[in-house]
Amino acid sequence: MEITSSHASPVLADPAPASKGRLGGVHTSLLSASSPPRKKLVKDFNLEVASEDFDTAYMSWMLKYPSALRSFEHIIDQAKGKKIAIFLDYDGTLSPIVNDPDCALMSDDMRSAVKNVSRHFPTAIISGRSRDKVYDLVGLTELYYAGSHGMDIMGPISNSGSSDHPRCVKSTDQQGKAVNLFQPAREFLPVIDEVFRTLVESTKGIKGAKVENHKFCASVHYRNVEEKNWPVIAQCVHDVLKGYPRLRLTHGRKVLEVRPVIDWNKGKAVEFLLDSLGLRSCNDVLAIYIGDDKTDEDAFKVLLKSNTGFGILVSSIPKETRAFYSLKEPSEVMEFLRTLASWKETEDSDKYQSPV
């Protein structure tokens, strides 16, 4: 869901009913449409429904986006003989959504599940956070990382097309291993730094507001802002962006994200990493992307269009999505990753034991 660029009035491209309020051009109902409690969801979606009806709505939504756990047999049927690559979002996927972004920690069990899956399949984390921050939170050296919504990628050195990109530079990771660094929004570094400082200053009077600097993008959180002040924070961000025509705004889970206007997103990052891994032009690839937020939709779309894999949406409420399957919450993501790893282990050991 995207707010149009700062030049025009920031009308939200959302399907919310026109009767809902627009303040500062920003659709106030949209600000609330992120991980609400059930009662609130009913209010925000203008649904006068009882809780049982919600359950029914969720169940019928799941007919369209079946559980990746319950569909596991079907998934491995598609995976047989293919090279699997795993892409994981961080917040809301590997860690539960919490009020303070600095406290969104991944459990040790989840870390082990991710580590184990990466023993069998190339695995990348693709996050809206800065690459350094998400690396610190995940703490696994064996993965690839893309921060700032894919605008800061540390991927493998490869002989395939991606390393030839004029903006790719060879670098080394925390362990001194040679890696490929791709930062398509590099020239925006000073402007993001400046807009971050301006946003901190202009939102400092709004209780609960928090601004994060993610190097190639900045996040303005309103999860802890009183609902009556949501239009105020939206207006404030909009006003700041008037001075930055080369920046645009996207909308995540109770967060407004300021980013460069460049045509780059998590979907492009997936393509770039598949390319780096030498998998993009293979017809025997199955890429699985698990994410919970609107910015993950770009990746779901790329996989759907290219027919190289599928998305799994993590959501406990019905949502329109380009994903193919669903999982309810991070604990189900962990179970899915464990199931995938143990299926692969069994398959490999069967192969090893079967007579030639």
Ligand X SMILES: O=P(O)(O)OC[C@H]1O[C@H](O[C@H]2O[C@H](CO)[C@@H](O)[C@H](O)[C@H]2O)[C@H](O)[C@@H](O)[C@@H]1O
Tell me which residues touch ligand X (CB under 6 A): 89-92, 97-99, 101, 104, 127-129, 212, 214, 219, 221, 223, 252-255, 257, 293, 295
- Between CA 255 and CA 261, with CA 259 as vertex, the angle to 5 degrees is 135
Query: CB-wise, 35 or 308, nearer to ligand X?
Result: 35
Q: How far is it, in rounded angstroms, from Cα 217 to Cα 149? A: 8
Query: DSSP letter string over 99-133?
Result: SSGGG-PPPHHHHHHHHHHHHHS-EEEE-SS-HHH
Query: CB-wise, 149 or 344, nearer to ligand X?
Result: 149
Distance of closest approach, residue 80 Cβ to ligand X, in angstroms: 31
Of 290, 234, 294, which Cα lies nearest the Cα of 265?
Answer: 294
Query: CB-wise, 92 or 309, nearer to ligand X?
Result: 92
Cross-strand partners of 145: 125, 154
- Beta-carbon contacts of residue 235 (< 8 Å; ≥ 6 apart): 23, 24, 26
Query: CB-wise, 122 or 128, nearer to ligand X?
Result: 128
| Position of minimal CB gap to ligand X | 128
Query: CB-wise, 79 or 225, nearer to ligand X?
Result: 225
Tokens of 96: 């539960």
Q: How far is it, in rounded angstroms, from Cα 144 to Cα 158? A: 13
Distance of closest approach, residue 315 Cβ to ligand X, in angstroms: 13
Distance of closest approach, residue 314 Cβ to ligand X, in angstroms: 10
Distance of closest approach, residue 329 Cβ to ligand X, in angstroms: 12
Query: CB-wise, 90 or 244, nearer to ligand X?
Result: 90
Query: CB-wise, 275 or 293, nearer to ligand X?
Result: 293
Distance of closest approach, residue 221 Cβ to ligand X, in angstroms: 5
Strand 325-327 versus strand 309-314 pairing type: parallel
Distance of closest approach, residue 56 Cβ to ligand X, in angstroms: 28
Instruction: Give whole-number Cα distances, 291 to 247, 280, 313, in Å.
Output: 24, 20, 5
Sign of CA dihedral 101, 104, 105, 110: negative
Cross-strand partners of 326: 67, 313
Distance of closest approach, residue 41 Cβ to ligand X, in angstroms: 16
